[in-house]
């Protein structure tokens, strides 16, 4: 997040599968991510007057909130 919008990673899936899809996309580094919300909500927050940059956005979930089986070998 300290790298601004360039550090953002998006996945397309149902919200409940976000951590699984993120792990598929970035591998073991998924644990270092925070969930800011849907693409629409993040874009809406960034276009408003309340937050200036990605670093200012409130996180809605962090990797500690992920299901315990995310990242387990299949």
State which residues form the domain around 8. 4-65
Residue 11 lies in a domain: yes
Q: How many domains does the chain have?
A: 1
The pLDDT tens digits for 46-70 are: 999 999 888 899 999 999 999 999 9
Query: Stretch 7-35: mean pLDDT, rounded?
Result: 94
Q: Give the burial class of 71: count Cβ atoms within 10 A of its Cβ; 0-12 exposed, 13-18 middle, 19 or more buried.
A: middle
For 2-20, how does the pLDDT look when each residue is reduced to its tens digit (9 = 90+)? 677 788 899 999 999 999 9
pLDDT of residue 45: 94
> pLDDT value at position 1?
54
Is 31 inside any structural domain? yes
Record the pTM: 0.83
CA distance 4 to 8: 7
């Amino acid at each position: 997040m300290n790298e601004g919008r360039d550090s953002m990673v998006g996945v397309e899936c149902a919200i409940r599968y976000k951590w699984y899809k993120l792990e598929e996309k970035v591998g073991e580094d998924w644990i270092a991510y925070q969930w800011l919300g849907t693409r629409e909500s993040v874009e809406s927050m960034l276009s408003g007057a309340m937050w200036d940059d990605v670093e200012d956005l409130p996180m809605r979930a962090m990797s500690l909130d992920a299901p315990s089986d995310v990242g387990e070998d299949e």
